Amino acid sequence: MSAPLLRIEELRVAFRGTGGLIEAVRGVDFGVAPGEVVGIVGESGSGKSLSMLAVMRLLGATARATGGRVIFDGEDLLAATEARMREIRGRDIAMVFQDPQSSLNPALTIGRQVTDVVRAHRRVSASEARRIAVEALERVGISEAGRRLDAYPHEFSGGMRQRALIAMAIACRPRLLIADEPTTALDVTVQAQIVELIAELRRDLGLAVIFISHNLHLVAEIVDRVVVMYGGKVVEDGPAADIELAARHPYTRLLRACVPSLHGPLGPLAAIEGAPPRLGRMPAGCPFAPRCPQAADACEREMPPLATDGARRIACWRPQ
Amino acid sequence: MFRLLAGRFFASLGTLFFVGLVLFALTRAGPGSPARIVLGADATSQQITQFEHANGLDRPFLEQYAAWLFDVLRGDFGKSFVTGRDVAGEIAGALPVTLSVVLLAFVIAIVVGIGIGSLAALRPGGPFASVTRLGVVLGLSIPAFWLGIVLIRFIAVELRWLPPGGYVPPSSGLIAHLQTIAMPAVSLAVYYIAVLARMTQASLQDALRGDYVRTARAMGLSSPRIVFYALLNALPPVINLAALSFGYMFGWALIIEQVFNIPGLSRALLNAISQRDFLLLQGIVFLFTAIFVLANLGADLVNRVLDPRQRSSA
């Protein structure tokens, strides 16, 4: 593997609670190579979105990164100034979010929102910015883009809005796109189109992508590597095919079983018993131990380290 | 869009019609006949009947209203019983005075209120937000007339920066004009600065939490631009409130005019009330209603321009 484009080292994120800091991301560690597509999979509250917001330095007032480093292209983003971050956001790393409905400003035209991104990072004329915007919109599959520039978000369908948001994200040709559950709020058919679009952009633009999802199957179709998170930690990490076919962490295996297959016979819907650990009440040992069918005494006592095994890493005392 | 506007316009006319009716009824429900006031205490009942007949006061209520409304629609507000002068002319003479005070107060309230509210929304827990919260409570609790008196006491009497009262029309010098209406306008504006600041703060704070703000930040847009775009979405309730404020200001302006001895509509209105000068009273109150209705219509229009969803839905 070539030198990583993004290297997240021991990242910790905590919320400011009434009783002090509550840690939600507890030492996350992984890298993304240039042009690589990495899927982050986990339940709500596993810390996957929070880690990515920390990478973008968009955590807001209630949470903050309390430890670790985020090295992008040799630069520690956690130590960068806000002005420097503003340069990086949208130009080098862009992020799209879950709900295209509310992620576009309803008062501004699509064209205005795309050209604004262009003009925030490049000194170009208004007409040149428009040309770049049309190109970006066409690239994400919006037909008659020139005419659509003057449309408002409410005149677009959900899938079109997500395309427009992706157009904003790629308008300045960033090297990394972070997509935080970009398909969750969309129809199933549209979901597949957006996934296909992201795969296409990666192919055509050489874009590295971090694709956050709770749907392992969806992610497995386009990613090179899957990072599985649970309880604010990476529990398994490996090539997509390996994880899809032969997951070794009990959590990953159960997560796989939860997504009903579209091809096989329809059995009872699988679910993982119990609930994820609550923030601030993380067990001392493996966070998944209380729900794990394979758990032994050791699991409850001590957190297993993320051990490397060939191309894979796994944090489990009793991997399968 | 055009049809919707036409609908709004006719709804406003309907409002005016009913307000006029209620106003007409209330004016006549009070004790005392204008005839008594005009003719004096020792007028004979025959003289009174004659006066009432001559002025149409003995006709059926609805007939009187219809006749009045018809005249008003043509711009004829009738003649004052007491002075015999044209009501429209009387109002036209005093309205510019009141209007200049209210307009200045309105501009101050909008600029300062929205400005303070926006700054306070930027850092919800910050020191400026706390000071604003206190200031809003203070602004809401200070009576305008009392503030006026305090201003006269300190700025006019002690410091001698501005005249304590009176009015100079803009035609006699803009600076002198502004000097006479500055303190009245500020006294009038303070309450509305507080109201608008509070609304702007709440609305903008809400807008700044929106997903599209996060998107804009994730794309590297500058902070002033992001705040401006959020403000576009935060303004509609503020504009509605501003329109209401504009209407209310005319009511408060009457008291402020008394405090600063300004020859605006308050003098005409108080005279009309004490002298049972029905037509003058109706004319002034009807004018206030029309201003109120128009201000709200204006707010609808501005909001329609700001919100593309409303624009294209009609």
The proportion of chain B whose per-residue pLDDT surpasses 70, expressed as a percent, equals 98
**Does residue A164 surpass a pLDDT of 80?**
yes
Gap between the Cα atoms of A126 and A47, Å rounded: 40
Q: Are A70 and A244 in contact, with CB atoms under 8 Å apart?
A: no
What structural domains does chain A harbor? 37-62+175-314 (3.40.50.300), 101-173 (no CATH)
- Which of A49, A88, A103, A172 would you mutate first to test chain B, the one with the most B CBs within 10 A? A103
Q: Pick from B124, B212, B232: which is nearest to A102 by CB?
A: B212
pLDDT in tens, A73-90: 999 999 999 999 999 999
Any bridge partners for residue A13, and if so which?
A: A25, A65
Q: Are B116 and B204 in contact, with CB atoms under 8 Å apart?
A: no
A149 CB neighbours in chain B (<8 A) are none
Element (H, E) at A140: none
Contact A89 B306 (CB under 8 A): no
**pLDDT at position A222, please?**
87
Q: For A60-91, give the DSSP string.
A: -SSEEEEEEEEEETTEEGGGS-HHHHHHHBTT
For the residues B102-128, what does the mean pLDDT come to? 95
Q: B14 burial class (0-12, 13-18, 19+ CB within 10 angstroms)?
A: exposed
pLDDT in tens, A247-290: 889 898 888 887 766 566 666 677 787 888 877 778 888 989 88
Q: What amino acid is encoded at A78 in this protein?
A: L
B122 CB neighbours in chain A (<8 A) are none
**pLDDT at position A264, please?**
61
**Does residue A1 surpass a pLDDT of 60?**
no
**pLDDT at position B314, please?**
40
3-class DSSP assignment, residue B150: helix
For the residues B155-171, what does the mean pLDDT come to? 90
Gap between the Cα atoms of A43 and B3, Å rounded: 51
Q: Find all residues with CB under 8 Å of B74, minimum gap 6, and list them.
A: none
Q: What amino acid is encoded at B269 in this protein?
A: L
- Of A57-61, A256-260, B192-196, which has the strongest mean pLDDT? B192-196
**Does residue B8 surpass a pLDDT of 60?**
yes
**pLDDT at position B218, please?**
95
Q: Which residue has the higher pLDDT, A241 or A40?
A: A40
Q: Which two tokens stand for residue A310?
A: 């060939």
Q: Which residue has the higher pLDDT, B212 or B301?
A: B212
**pLDDT at position B98, please?**
95
Q: Find all residues with CB under 8 Å of B145, minimum gap 6, and list them.
A: B187, B255, B256, B258, B259
How far A44 CA lies from chain B's nearest CA (Å)? 18
The proportion of chain A whose per-residue pLDDT surpasses 90, expressed as a percent, equals 59
- Which of B203, B212, B231, B306 would you mutate first to test chain A, the one with the most A CBs within 10 A? B212
| Least trusted range by pLDDT, from A29-33, A270-274, B275-279 | A270-274
For residue B1, what is the DSSP state?
-
Contact B212 A155 (CB under 8 A): no
3-class DSSP assignment, residue B277: coil
Spatial CA neighbour of A255 closest among A37, A26, A40, A43: A43
**Does residue B17 surpass a pLDDT of 80?**
yes
| Cα B252 to Cα B132, B243, B249, B264, B272, distances in angstroms | 24, 15, 5, 12, 18
Gap between the Cα atoms of A222 and A195, Å rounded: 7
**pLDDT at position A260, please?**
66
Gap between the Cα atoms of B210 and A23, Å rounded: 25
Gap between the Cα atoms of A157 and A150, Å rounded: 15
**pLDDT at position B131, please?**
95
Q: List the Cα angle B107/B109/B115 in 5-degree steps.
A: 100
For residue A162, what is the DSSP state?
H
**pLDDT at position A265, please?**
63
Contact A154 B308 (CB under 8 A): yes
Q: What is the ipTM of this complex?
A: 0.89
B313 phi, psi to nearest 5 deg: -80, -10
Long-range own/partner contacts, residues B15-21 (CB < 8 A, 24 or more apart): B15/B289, B15/B293, B16/B286, B16/B289, B16/B290, B16/B293, B17/B69, B19/B286, B19/B289, B20/B65, B20/B68, B20/B69, B20/B72, B20/B282, B20/B286, B20/B289, B21/B65
For the residues A49-63, what does the mean pLDDT come to? 92
Question: Predicted confidence band at A168 (pLDDT cuts at 50, 70, 90)?
Answer: very high
Contact B220 A89 (CB under 8 A): yes
| Cα B64 to Cα B22, B28, B29, B67, B80, distances in angstroms | 13, 11, 14, 5, 16
- Of A152-156, A288-292, B74-78, which has the strongest mean pLDDT? A152-156
Q: Which two tokens stand for residue B293?
A: 């209705």
| Cα A137 to Cα A123, A200, B47, distances in angstroms | 20, 14, 85
Structural domain spans, chain B: 20-73, 95-264+288-312
Q: Which two tokens stand for residue A167?
A: 């157009």
What is the fold of B95-264+288-312?
MetI-like fold (1.10.3720)
**Does residue B36 surpass a pLDDT of 80?**
no
Q: Which residue has the higher pLDDT, A221 or A122?
A: A122
Gap between the Cα atoms of A2 and A32, Å rounded: 10
Within a 10 A sphere around the Cβ of A37, how many other Cβ atoms? 23
Contact B219 A155 (CB under 8 A): no
| Least trusted range by pLDDT, from A190-199, A255-264, B172-181, B239-248 | A255-264
Q: Are A149 and A134 in contact, with CB atoms under 8 Å apart?
A: yes
Q: List the Cα angle A269/A46/B124 in 5-degree steps.
A: 125
B214 CB neighbours in chain A (<8 A) are 58, 97, 103
B295 phi, psi to nearest 5 deg: -60, -40
Q: Is A97 part of the contact surface with chain B (CB cutoff 8 Å)?
A: yes
Largest CA distance in chain B: 85
Residue of A nearest to B233 (CA): A107
Q: Which two tokens stand for residue B217?
A: 């930040």
- Beta strand A312-314 pairing with A208-213: unpaired
**pLDDT at position A262, please?**
59
Contact A102 B211 (CB under 8 A): yes
**Does residue B101 surpass a pLDDT of 60?**
yes
Place of tokens 């050791």: A298
Gap between the Cα atoms of B258 and B184, Å rounded: 10
